[in-house]
């Protein structure tokens, strides 16, 4: 019996939508993967259940008030239990880990990702906010450390899958596909009145609450445009967005001879998760297969940047560069949280982001400390703005 040919992974955010699907993938391939670490924010019950199944060496529960419960359940199984955000950033450096799957949501992903890269761990990146906030720093650090960043986001995985065997060929442009979300085709008058429950109903994907709202506002696509810039080294002009309501074509690459490659399949995040964890191998799966007869027409339309301002704001921030993407990310996290707590309207989300982008301190060449202070300043500005609106 040997573990040495297997990939040893840490799953950050194991109790979320991506995290639970990653556990499914890992459990379906016990010959390929060993789970070293699981981390969760506050869902102690699920974290304990998962640890009983996959028997990691270490778990971290960020919410320190849940530590005693997790310790009592897992210490008898010889699993080490830690608490707090700082513990996440330190356990990712463990010698036994080969790859870290970043599946926590939001800005909280930044520091553990930096620490993992510094320790030479390859990254399977679901936490797009990390590249939005600090793409320049993260990609430079990864290059220095010889660390690969494998995209988990389905669009970026699609592009990555199209690029395998083509890494020496320059990209002319990429086309990111967007489902359009639950409010595709609606106008601003309709969006004035939409509720949290309506926004949480995504037509094609079942995901965590934050990314589901981001999909309804098209901010998710905006964040993905910025994510794509850093993953594939592109200019804003090389990144196009097209609405494709069926979510079958997951994205496309166009090369300099004009040829386009697309990756397609039913919407199922287990496939991009598995491709990132198993790269360069395609592991056998029993996921449902696509059938053309069930999708006689695949359609495409222009995104409406005037109604869905967040996508335009993300392109603006990308063009401004510096800490502008960090500003829109922080403003968006605060605004989406307020919308989910029914303290802000749907259209108010874009107002808050635009206001923060216009007023937060601009830094052209930010350091890590600048990102931290930009995040703090923007969260304060966004909260003040939201309070003034009610």
Using CB under 6 A as the criterion, which residues of the chain lie in contact with ligand NAD when the complex forms? Answer: 13-19, 40-41, 43, 62, 85, 103-105, 108, 126-129, 153, 205, 207-208, 211, 269
Q: What is the closest distance, in whole angstroms, from the C-beta atom of residue 205 to ligand NAD in the complex? A: 5
Encoded tokens for 295: 């999708």
What are the strands, taking DSSP E only, across the chain? 7-12, 33-40, 58-61, 80-83, 99-102, 122-125, 149-151, 171-178, 239-243, 249-255, 260-264
Q: Which does 34 bind (CB under 5 to 8 A by kind): Mg ion, ligand NAD, none?
A: none
For Mg ion, which is the closer residue by CB, 15 or 212? 212
Q: Which does 113 bind (CB under 5 to 8 A by kind): ligand NAD, Mg ion, none?
A: none
Q: Which does 254 bind (CB under 5 to 8 A by kind): ligand NAD, Mg ion, none?
A: none
For ligand NAD, which is the closer residue by CB, 155 or 355? 155
Q: Residues 126 to 155: which contact Mg ion by CB under 5 A? A: 153-155
For ligand NAD, which is the closer residue by CB, 216 or 355? 216
From 270, 261, 273, 262, select the one nearest 288 (Cα to Cα).
270
Q: Rounded to an integer, what distance in angstroms lies between the CA atom of residue 270 and that of residue 157?
A: 11
Closest chain position to ligand NAD (CB):
16
Q: Is 313 exposed, middle or buried (0-12, 13-18, 19+ CB in 10 A)?
A: buried
Q: Yes or no: say if 262 and 249 are a contact pair by the CB < 8 Å rule.
A: yes
Cross-strand pairs, 174: 239, 253
Q: What is the closest distance, in whole angstroms, from the C-beta atom of residue 153 to Mg ion in the complex? A: 4
Binding residues for 1-deoxy-D-xylulose 5-phosphate: 128, 154-155, 179, 202, 215, 220-221, 224
For Mg ion, which is the closer residue by CB, 15 or 154? 154
Cross-strand pairs, 33: 7
Binding residues: 15-18, 43, 127-129, 153-155, 179, 202, 208, 215, 220-221, 224
Q: Which does 239 bind (CB under 5 to 8 A by kind): Mg ion, ligand NAD, none?
A: none
For ligand NAD, which is the closer residue by CB, 43 or 198? 43
Encoded tokens for 374: 């930009």
Angle at 178 between CA 172 and CA 179, to 5 degrees: 155
Q: Yes or no: say if 364 and 322 are a contact pair by the CB < 8 Å rule.
A: yes
Binding residues for NADPH: 15-18, 43, 127, 129, 208
Q: What count of other Cβ atoms lies within 10 Å of the Cβ of residue 118?
A: 15
Q: What is the closest distance, in whole angstroms, from the C-beta atom of residue 359 to ligand NAD in the complex? A: 26
Q: What is the closest distance, in whole angstroms, from the C-beta atom of residue 108 to ligand NAD in the complex? A: 3
Q: Residues 150 to 189: which contact Mg ion by CB under 5 A? A: 153-155
For ligand NAD, which is the closer residue by CB, 58 or 105? 105
- Hunting for tokens 């999708």 — which residue is that? 295
Q: Which does 211 bind (CB under 5 to 8 A by kind): ligand NAD, Mg ion, none?
A: ligand NAD
Say if strands 260-264 and 249-255 run parallel, antiparallel, or are unpaired.
antiparallel
Binding residues for Mn(2+): 153, 155, 224
For ligand NAD, which is the closer residue by CB, 93 or 389? 93
Give, in order, the Cα–Cα distances in Å from 311 to each of 214, 219, 267, 306, 350: 10, 5, 22, 9, 10
Which chain residues interact with Mg ion by CB under 5 A?
Answer: 153-155
């Amino acid at each position: 019996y040997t573990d040495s040919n297997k990939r040893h992974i840490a799953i950050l955010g194991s109790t979320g939508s991506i995290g639970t699907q990653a556990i499914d993938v890992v459990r379906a391939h016990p010959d390929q993967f060993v789970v070293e670490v699981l981390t969760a924010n506050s869902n102690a019950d699920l974290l304990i259940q998962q640890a009983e199944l996959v028997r990691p060496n270490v778990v971290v529960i960020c919410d320190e008030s849940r530590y005693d419960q997790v310790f009592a359940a897992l210490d008898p199984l010889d699993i080490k239990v830690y608490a707090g955000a700082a513990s996440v950033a330190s356990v990712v450096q463990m010698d036994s880990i080969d790859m870290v799957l970043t599946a926590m949501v939001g800005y909280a992903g930044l520091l553990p990702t930096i620490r993992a890269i510094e320790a030479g761990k390859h990254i399977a990146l679901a936490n797009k906010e990390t590249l939005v906030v600090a793409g320049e720093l993260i990609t430079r650090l990864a290059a220095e450390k010889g660390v690969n960043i494998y995209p988990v986001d389905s669009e970026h995985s699609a592009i990555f899958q199209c690029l395998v065997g083509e890494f020496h060929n320059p990209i002319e442009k990429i086309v990111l596909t967007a489902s359009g979300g639950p409010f595709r085709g609606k106008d601003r008058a309709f969006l004035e009145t939409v509720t949290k429950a309506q926004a949480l109903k995504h037509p094609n994907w079942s995901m965590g609450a934050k990314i589901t709202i981001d999909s309804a506002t098209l901010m998710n696509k905006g964040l993905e445009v910025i994510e794509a810039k850093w993953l594939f080294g592109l200019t804003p002009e090389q990144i196009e967005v097209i609405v494709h309501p069926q979510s079958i074509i997951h994205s496309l690459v166009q090369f300099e001879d004009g040829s386009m490659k697309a990756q397609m399949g039913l919407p199922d995040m287990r496939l991009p998760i598995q491709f990132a964890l198993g790269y360069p191998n395609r592991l056998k799966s029993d996921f449902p297969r696509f059938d053309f007869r069930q999708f006689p027409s695949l359609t495409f339309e222009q995104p409406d940047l005037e109604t869905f301002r967040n996508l335009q704001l993300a392109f603006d921030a990308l063009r401004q560069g510096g800490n502008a993407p960090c500003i829109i990310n922080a403003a968006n996290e605060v605004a989406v949280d307020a919308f989910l707590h029914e303290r802000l309207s749907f259209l108010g989300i874009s107002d808050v982001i635009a206001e923060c982008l216009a007023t937060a301190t601009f830094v052209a060449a930010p350091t890590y400390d600048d990102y931290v202070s930009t995040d703090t300043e923007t969260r304060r500005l966004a909260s003040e703005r939201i309070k003034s609106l009610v």
